[in-house]
Homo-oligomer: A and B are copies of this chain.
Amino acid sequence: MTELAINYQDIVAASLRIRGHAVITPLLESPMLNEQLGGRVLFKAENLQRTGSFKFRGAFNKLSKLAQAHQLTGVVAYSSGNHAQGVAAAAAHFGVPATIIMPADAPQIKIANTKILGATVVLYDRHKENREAIGQRLALQHNLTLIPPYNDADIIAGQGTIGLEAANQMLALGLTPDQAIGPIGGGGLITGSATALKQHFPNITLWGAEPESYDDAAHSIAAGLRLANKNPPSSICDAILTPMVGELTFPIMQHYLAGAKVVQEKHVLAAMLVCMQQLKVVVEPGGCVGLAAILNRSLAVKDRITLVILSGGNTDPAMLSLALNQ
């Protein structure tokens, strides 16, 4: 068996590092939604996390470890926006410069917020340029540490604090979840969270969720090897449009996940509306694919207790209007 990149203790250690810096996000629930769905569904609202997404957790854990080792001079990251803001906010906390490489077509709010957080933003063409190559070049030129979005043990452990927190919140409510689901882009969120949840709830069934045409995790888990989607069309789920899951995250997925559910855009928009109307929160398209998998009936929740991770809320008014007027 491949040795996994992280274990439960790494997540506990990460939770101590981020304590007092990251928000302990609430577990939301709508009795009316529960009644409609015929089961109890609890939502971990990482859209209410600092910087508007869970990414701050992993970034802060990573930078905190680098700082402790006196290896933190400056950082560079490539990101469609959420990791960008997480890294920028963490860098600002530790007082080091951050350069973020973002696709030119990322939501304006994500680009603007990354700049407000003090980072230098370098835009690139997602269809023609290679962000990893740009990142490595800048890292070498300016002596910066590259902060990977997911394929890094400290990042995965940081994101795992979502699962640890949710587990403690469920226990405080006297609840044992039957299943949990969360978005998969590169897999940092779901693998870290799965590691923590499985420790507390050995019988839990764990699922990822991803958009149609970006179902590389579903195919990879089914095939037993990492596969990429070829020439996928554009998607509203900008936060999770990674071509392939990570080298480090994939073995953890294989170890813990039952599989990945695939959702269509119309269910993503429906999920955004449910979040606004029933939970009173704003969730971005890529952030609510887990709920979309419930709405399109690929994940059954009747008579079960289900944990859904909502990963972020950074989206433009135009996208929210689209969800409101469907």
Instruction: Point out residues on A near B: beta carbons under 8 Å.
Output: 23, 25-26, 28, 31-32, 35, 47-48, 50, 52, 89, 109, 113, 116-117, 273, 276-277, 279-283, 313-314, 317, 320-321, 324-325
Contacts and interface: CB of A to CB of B under 8 A. Distances in A.
B282 A52 contact: no
A283 B47 CA distance: 15
B50 A28 contact: no
17 contacts: A23-B26, A25-B26, A31-B50, A31-B117, A32-B113, A48-B279, A48-B281, A273-B317, A276-B317, A280-B314, A281-B282, A282-B282, A317-B325, A320-B320, A321-B324, A321-B325, A324-B324
B52 A280 contact: yes
A9 to B, nearest CB: 27
A324 B273 CA distance: 14
How many subunits of this chain does the assembly comprise?
Answer: 2
Nearest to A324: B317
A116 B35 contact: yes
A159 B112 CA distance: 38
A36 to B, nearest CB: 9
Contacts of A47: 280
Q: Which of the listed residues A47, A109, A282 has the most CB atoms from chain B within 10 Å of its own CB?
A: A282
Contacts of A32: 113, 116-117
Contacts of A52: 280
Contacts of A324: 317, 320-321, 324
A126 B172 CA distance: 44
A277 B324 CA distance: 15
Nearest to A326: B317
Contacts of A35: 116
A138 to B, nearest CB: 25
A258 to B, nearest CB: 30
Q: Which of the listed residues A26, A277, A279, A314 has the most CB atoms from chain B within 10 Å of its own CB?
A: A277
Contacts of A277: 109, 282, 317
Nearest to A28: B48
A281 B26 CA distance: 12
Contacts of A273: 317
A314 B279 CA distance: 10
Nearest to A172: B20
B325 A31 contact: no
Contacts of A325: 317, 321
A313 B275 CA distance: 11
Nearest to A50: B31
B48 A313 contact: no
